[in-house]
A and B are shown apart, each in its own frame.
Chain A
Amino acid sequence: MTTFKCPVCGEKALRLTTGPGRTMRHRNMEVAVPDDFQLAECAACGARPLDMKTVKRLDPILEQAYADRLSATVEADIDALASLRPLYEWERVLNLSAGYLSKLRGSKTPSAQLAALLRLLANHPERARELESLWAGEAQSVILSERLTLPAAPFARPVRATPLRHVDRQVFTILRKAA
């Protein structure tokens, strides 16, 4: 097997490898590299430096893997959501055209932003109420209501870390006042 000098450790241990289980970051996602794609990897230090020629060959492959993984993720999350409420209701919650989520289950490639949103909703479907409030114009954002009621360093606490029960109480109070 031909080996080259590794640019990282200097050992003559850089060689082209193939095989399963190799991943690479594409945009913000870790995606699988096809088993038969030759990648340079150092047997001594594990470095995987990529030159421009390899990148140009690899990019479309990683892009396809990225799209495939997004689609698979979205399909699973849509299935999870569909088990809770009809899809047309989720489409209304997300302000999507009728039938859009069904199309995503088929061939359409989703955006990463929608995939992220669907993942959050699939994991925390109860938060759909916040979106319903948003579209109904019934309440200010929960962040704003928290800012008004929490005097001590409200920005220091990430919104995602807010206990759900507390958020629910806030929304409930606002909705009751509005009613």
Chain B
Amino acid sequence: MAAKYELQRVQDAARDDRISLDERRARDELGYLFRTTAEGYAFAVEVLLALRPSDYCETVSLGPPHDGAYDVYGVRLARPELPACWYLKFKLEDGLYGENVFFVSIHPLNKPMHRIGGLLKPEGAP
């Protein structure tokens, strides 16, 4: 199964800061880890740019009120001050200034995830 949204286009949008975040499982989650919201957004861009096709897990449709399909990725980062493994769920949509990445989730991974590139386990998972 392939990702719904071409990763190159996702990363093009990220490079141009064309991202937006939903509240609870995205913005609020980063708010606990970063001093400012802008730092959290810069981190979201950094994570998107670090993604490889092998980090893809699945494409899902969420229940109401959510519309459209979201790609789910898991990625391991080398930032010692932050949790190593991250869970991302986003879609690419048309925005005012071109395509925009909309995150519904971006937070530390809390359970093992099967990706194209192999199993990703959060710290402390059996």
Stretch at the interface among B20-28, B48-56, B105-113: B20-28
B37 interfacial by beta-carbon distance below 8 Å? yes
Contacts of B41 in A (CB 8 A): 52, 55
Selected from A48, A51, A59, the residue in CB contact (under 8 A) with B23 is A48
Q: A49-B102, A52-B17 are in contact. Are A10 and B35 (CB under 8 A)?
A: no
- Looking across the interface, which residue of chain A has its beta carbon closest to that of B95? A51
DSSP majority for the B interface?
mixed
B67 close to A9 (CB less than 8 A): yes
Contacts of B35 in A (CB 8 A): 27
Contacts of B31 in A (CB 8 A): 25-28
- Looking across the interface, which residue of chain A has its beta carbon closest to that of B68? A10
A52 close to B19 (CB less than 8 A): yes
Complexed CA–CA distance, A49 and B102 (Å): 8
Selected from B23, B38, B100, the residue in CB contact (under 8 A) with A47 is B23
A63 interfacial by beta-carbon distance below 8 Å? yes
A122 interfacial by beta-carbon distance below 8 Å? no
B66 interfacial by beta-carbon distance below 8 Å? yes
B65 interfacial by beta-carbon distance below 8 Å? yes
Complexed CA–CA distance, A173 and B91 (Å): 61
B37 close to A62 (CB less than 8 A): yes
B36 close to A59 (CB less than 8 A): yes
A58 interfacial by beta-carbon distance below 8 Å? yes
A56 close to B100 (CB less than 8 A): no
Q: A26-B31, A51-B100, A58-B37 are in contact. Are A8 and B67 (CB under 8 A)?
A: yes
A7 interfacial by beta-carbon distance below 8 Å? yes
* 0/1 interface trace, chain A 1-30, chain B, CB 8 Å (1 if under): 000111111110000000000000111100
A50 close to B68 (CB less than 8 A): no
A76 interfacial by beta-carbon distance below 8 Å? no
Complexed CA–CA distance, A14 and B90 (Å): 19
Complexed CA–CA distance, A4 and B37 (Å): 23
- Looking across the interface, which residue of chain B has its beta carbon closest to that of A46? B65
Complexed CA–CA distance, A50 and B22 (Å): 7
Complexed CA–CA distance, A158 and B103 (Å): 35
Complexed CA–CA distance, A25 and B30 (Å): 10
A51 close to B20 (CB less than 8 A): yes
* Closest beta carbon of chain A to B40's beta carbon, Å: 8
Contacts of B100 in A (CB 8 A): 7, 51
A8 close to B93 (CB less than 8 A): no
Contacts of A4 in B (CB 8 A): 96
- Within 52-89 of A, Cβ neighbours of B (below 8 Å) are at 52-53, 55-56, 58-59, 62-63
The 10 closest A-B pairs by CB, nearest first: A10-B67, A45-B65, A9-B65, A7-B102, A51-B20, A52-B17, A49-B20, A59-B38, A59-B36, A55-B37
List 4 other contacts, CB 8 Å, given A47-B22, A55-B37. A8-B22, A8-B65, A48-B23, A49-B20
